[in-house]
Structure 1
Amino acid sequence: MLAIWKRELQNYYLTPIGYVFMGIFLLVGGVMFYLGNIMGMTPSAATLLGNLNYIFMLTVPILTMRLLSEERRTKTDQLLITSPLRIWDIVGGKFLAAATVVLLTTCCTLLYIALLSRYTDRMYPAAIACNYLGFLLLSLCYVALGLLMSALTESQVSAAVLTLGVNILLQILESVFSSSSFALPGALSFLRPVLSWFSLYSRYNQFAAGRLSFANILYYLSFSGLMLFLTVRVIDRRRWSEG
């Protein structure tokens, strides 16, 4: 797994992908920070990370689209599959490489927090840490989902579109079903609390409010683990069908 992690991390920065992702994320994030926090006079870490969350949701396909689809297109996936490495090691290494880029990019956003601290003395380290923990956990879910989408196709463009489409669909469903103006038929009214429980975004709101919940941490880790498990199953099934 460590060898895969090192190789993929090098690939991110030996090719434009890592720089493009970080550049777009930080550039758009900087604009949102200026408009939402500085011009909007809202010196809040929760507002900042809430905006960054939407940006990450839209830019994560850049990070994940090539992880497995490129291997499949160039047929190097067969070399990996037939190597002594377990499929879990391959998937885990690629996931950790993308997660490392996410972590490095997130660390860059601490500059925004430093700038915010100049405008207010109500910056509470514990609340900020809780916000960042929720942001990172949700980001890992995006990465794991993108990795699964990348395993389903050999086209990087298709993988990116699939990832973006699923992310937007989940966000739309969250917005619709959480809206009090959206009324479900009586027989389906039970769906609202069920969907709310499964929602990635409603749980993030608790982190944004400074409420640390181990149940929410476990849910995010379980979601990421499930996406990685499904990715392994997709690769394993393809190995047997093509073998």
Structure 2
Amino acid sequence: MAAIYRRELKGYFNTMIGYVIIVFLLAFSGIYFMAYNLNYGYPYFSYVLSGGIFMLLIAAPLLTMRSFAEERKNRTDQLLLTAPVSLFQIVMGKYLAMITILGIPCAVYLLFPLMIKMQGTAYILSDYLSILVYFLLGCVYIAIGMFVSSLTESQIIAAIGTFGILMVIQLWSGIIGFLPSSAMANVFGIAFLLSLLVWAVWRMTQNWVICLILEIVNLGVNGIVYAVKPEVYENLLSTICGELNLIDTFNSIASNNLLDVSGIILYLSLIVFFVFLTMEMIQKRRWS
């Protein structure tokens, strides 16, 4: 894994992508820092990260688009898969290289609260926690982008697909507001989402027997629960989707100085989930 990590990290700096992303994040953060903290005197560096969180929507697709799409296009993925390393080591080597690129500007961010402290009042602990949550959110975005890159051999499609998913995450709070509240609409919505998960399982396993059983359980359980106690489904979609709002975990630090532990667990769970999905997609292509 160490060899793959070094190879990938070196590749990002040989192609200038690593330098561009680092400079991009630091430059925009520096502009926000001067505007918010130096000119207007806000004592929280978390304001800077909150105002510039959209930068991850651009940095993550640029960082992840080549991770597996380029290997697949150049047909070097087969050489990599036949190397004497496990699939987990391949995926994690690439993933760790990408989060290292993100970690460099985040490490520089640690200096900004100290600069604020030199000017007067500062909230070091709150700012450092916001930097940690910002980094973890970036790690989630990178895991999503890596998975999208494993689906295609086009870097452009991988970048656009990742950006589209991240934009939906960014607008998640507004999207939730359009969800229906009635029990009937929610039961159909829940059944549809679970059917999509069953379809995803079929795409990865190609086992129609297991997927058929899962779909029968999905429709049967939802139908029975709705018939017995329909009020359970009222606003259920909004409640579930609200728990998946990734931006709220960061905003709880940036705006309220509260660390959402459940949100951190959600971040880590999503990282593991998308790394697993990436491994499954590559494994499927290996034996196809």
Q: Which residue of 1 aligns with 2:159?
A: 160
- Offset from partner CA, 1:79-123 (integer Å, 9 cap, x none): 0111221111111000000111111111122343333334431x2
Q: Is the 1:144–1:228 Cα contact (8 Å) retained in structure 2?
A: yes
How many angstroms apart in 2 are the aligned matches of 1:145 and 1:200?
13
Q: Which residue of 1 aligns with 2:34?
A: 34
How many angstroms apart in 2 are the aligned matches of 1:99 and 1:23?
15
Please report how far the alpha carbon of residue 211 of structure 1 lies from its aligned counterpart in structure 2 after TM superposition. 2.4
Q: Which residue of 1 aligns with 2:12?
A: 12
With normalisation by structure 1, the TM-score equals: 0.90
Report whether the alignment pairs 1:126 with 2:125.
yes
How many angstroms apart in 2 are the aligned matches of 1:99 and 1:183?
34
Stretches of structure 2 that go unaligned for 5 or more consecutive residues are 187-234
SS of equivalent to 1:67:
coil
Q: Is the 1:61–1:163 Cα contact (8 Å) retained in structure 2?
A: yes
Q: Which residue of 2 aligns with 1:95?
A: 95
Q: Which residue of 1 aligns with 2:56?
A: 56
Report whether the alignment pairs 1:231 with 2:230.
no
SS of equivalent to 1:53:
coil
How many angstroms apart in 2 are the aligned matches of 1:45 and 1:29?
10
**Greater CA deviation, 88-97 or 50-59?**
50-59
How many angstroms apart in 2 are the aligned matches of 1:113 and 1:128?
7
Report whether the alignment pairs 1:204 with 2:255.
no
Q: Which residue identity lines up with residue 97 of structure 1 in the other structure? A: A
* Residue correspondences, number: 237
SS of equivalent to 1:112:
helix
Q: Which residue of 1 aligns with 2:143?
A: 144
Please report how far the alpha carbon of residue 190 of structure 1 lies from its aligned counterpart in structure 2 after TM superposition. 2.0
In structure 2, the CA distance between the partners of 1:192 and 1:120, relative to structure 1 (3 Å rule), is farther
Q: Which residue of 1 aligns with 2:264?
A: 217
Please report how far the alpha carbon of residue 184 of structure 1 lies from its aligned counterpart in structure 2 after TM superposition. 3.5
Q: What percentage of aligned pairs have identical amino acids?
A: 33
Q: Which residue of 1 aligns with 2:220?
A: none
Please report how far the alpha carbon of residue 43 of structure 1 lies from its aligned counterpart in structure 2 after TM superposition. 2.8
Q: Is the 1:36–1:48 Cα contact (8 Å) retained in structure 2?
A: yes
How many angstroms apart in 1 are the aligned matches of 2:40 and 2:239?
34
Report whether the alignment pairs 1:45 with 2:49.
no
- Offset from partner CA, 1:158-190 (integer Å, 9 cap, x none): 11111111100121223332x5xx573333422
In structure 2, the CA distance between the partners of 1:26 and 1:193, relative to structure 1 (3 Å rule), is same
How many angstroms apart in 2 are the aligned matches of 1:57 and 1:162?
11
**Greater CA deviation, 71-80 or 21-30?**
21-30
In structure 2, the CA distance between the partners of 1:21 and 1:3, relative to structure 1 (3 Å rule), is same
With normalisation by structure 2, the TM-score equals: 0.76
Q: Is the 1:130–1:211 Cα contact (8 Å) retained in structure 2?
A: no
**Greater CA deviation, 27-36 or 3-12?**
27-36
Q: Which residue identity lines up with residue 55 of structure 1 in the other structure? A: M
SS of equivalent to 2:3:
helix
**Greater CA deviation, 228-237 or 26-35?**
26-35
Q: Which residue of 1 aligns with 2:208?
A: none
Q: Is the 1:57–1:164 Cα contact (8 Å) retained in structure 2?
A: yes
Q: Is the 2:148–2:161 Cα contact (8 Å) retained in structure 1?
A: yes
- Offset from partner CA, 1:196-221 (integer Å, 9 cap, x none): 11121112223333323433222211
Report whether the alignment pairs 1:240 with 2:240.
no
Please report how far the alpha carbon of residue 154 of structure 1 lies from its aligned counterpart in structure 2 after TM superposition. 1.0
Q: Which residue of 1 aligns with 2:181?
A: 185
In structure 2, the CA distance between the partners of 1:39 and 1:124, relative to structure 1 (3 Å rule), is closer
SS of equivalent to 2:282:
helix
How many angstroms apart in 2 are the aligned matches of 1:12 and 1:101?
8
Q: Which residue of 1 aligns with 2:169?
A: 170
Q: Which runs of 4 or more aligned residues in structure 1 lie more than 4 Å from their structure 2 counterparts after TM superposition?
A: none
